[in-house]
Amino acid sequence: MPEAAVLTSAAVRELTLGEAVREALAEELRRDPTVLVMGEDVAEAGTAFKVLSGLVTEFGPERVLDTPISEAGFTGIGVGAAMTGLRPVVDIMFGDFVGLIMDQMMNQAAKVHYMSGGKWKVPMVLRTTLGATRRSAAQHSQSLHAWFCHIPGLKVVMPSTPYDAKGLLKSAIRDDNPVIFYEDKMMYKLKGPVPQEDYTIPLGVADVKREGDDVTIIATSSMVQVALGAAKMLEEHGVSAEVVDPRTLWPLDEDTLVESARKTSRVIVVDEGYQRYGVTAELAAVIQEKAFFDLEAPVKRIGAMQVPIPFSPPLEDSTVPTEKSVCDAALALCGKA
């Protein structure tokens, strides 16, 4: 069903992104008995963010399973379980903790299919978080999704709206590959229309969140909301901004990004990960390789500042892209600064 048709159907309610995630999990747990959720405090506690509240009541502690605080161990168990008939959704509370599980993801999950000549598969989802400005300091605030994007064999999903979160998570769970599903913890309360019915959004299809003519802002996860805010500010300056959300960083829908770049001829890439060797670098390279002769200006990148995320609120706020910083960059790119 086309997205527009889904969103205009009768059974659309406003849900928060957290509720959309929970609904996707509940629907998949109901649909497929091999799906299970595992991680720290996912059952009665419903995770530290309360995103999974109530799931254990419906599905029981066998399918919504609390683990010890052993990220590498239970992620590895998820990999083995995925190889042998289950579809685990492994919860890593804070994205910063992926440092503890990298061998399981990049040496095991990512490579099992290839190393076995295509014989074993790893249909698992790793749900984790990104995003700063929660006053959680340097070990609970990072956006490290670029690490996974670097590894062949993994897929990386970055929803920016409740609608996308539900449809993409259901696709991720049904995918036969290891998929890392990133939720920005600052977006859990973000509300948006979400259909009650079963729908999926295919991995690898970008979405133009706002049409415009003068500048393209390619943004990921919560930076899409920042880009949409910046686009409104730009309107007041007479600049028409298009906002494009890749939705999945791998597979990457290069065509939609390049098409928008060709149309507007000016591109800004915004991502909350570190700029150095990061997602903005990759997306900028794609645009410059495929749309160079249509560009009026070099592609501008905006990412997190190259510092450990500080605790002090004014310091922390200065490290992440904002509507104003994106708006200012767009004005400069359009020669209106």
Is the torsion defined by CA of 285, 291, 292, 295 positive or negative?
negative
**Three-class SS state of 97:** helix
Distance CA 143, CA 95 (A): 7
CA distance 242 to 293: 19
Choosing from 1, 114, 285, 337, the residue that interacts with other proteins (CB under 8 A) is 114
Check residue 36 for interaction with other proteins (CB under 8 A).
yes
The encoded tokens of residue 268 equal: 């800004």
230 binds other proteins (CB under 8 A): no
Can you tell me which residue has the tokens 């590959």? Answer: 177
Give whichever of 58 and 197 is closer to other proteins, judged by the CB atom: 58
- How many residues appear in the chain? 337
Which of the ranges 6-14, 69-77, 189-197, 218-226 carries the binding residues for other proteins, by CB under 8 A? 69-77
In this structure, the strands spanning 35-39 and 64-66 are parallel
| CA dist., res. 179 & res. 173, Å (int) | 8
**Shortest Å, Cβ 64 to other proteins:** 13
Residues touching other proteins, count (CB under 8 A): 41
112 is a contact residue toward other proteins (CB under 8 A): yes
Q: Which is nearer to other proteins, 85 or 335 (CB)?
A: 85
Contact call for residue 299 and other proteins (CB under 8 A): no
Stretch of 6-14, 76-84, 193-201, 279-287 lying at the interface with other proteins (CB under 8 A): 76-84
Q: Which of 140, 145, 150, 237 is catalytic?
A: 140
Candidate list 2, 4, 11, 152; residue touching other proteins; CB under 8 A: 152
Q: Output 120 or 277, the one with its CB closest to other proteins.
A: 120
Listed in sequence order, the residues at least 6 apart from 208 whose beta carbon sits closer than 8 Å to its beta carbon are 242, 243, 244, 245, 256, 260
Return the closest-CA partner of residue 267 out of 215, 321, 221: 215
In the complex, least distance from residue 67 CB atom to other proteins, rounded to whole angstroms = 7
Q: Please report, as ranges, the residues that interact with other proteins according to CB under 8 A.
A: 36, 62, 67-68, 70, 72-86, 103-104, 107-108, 112-123, 152-153, 155, 176-177
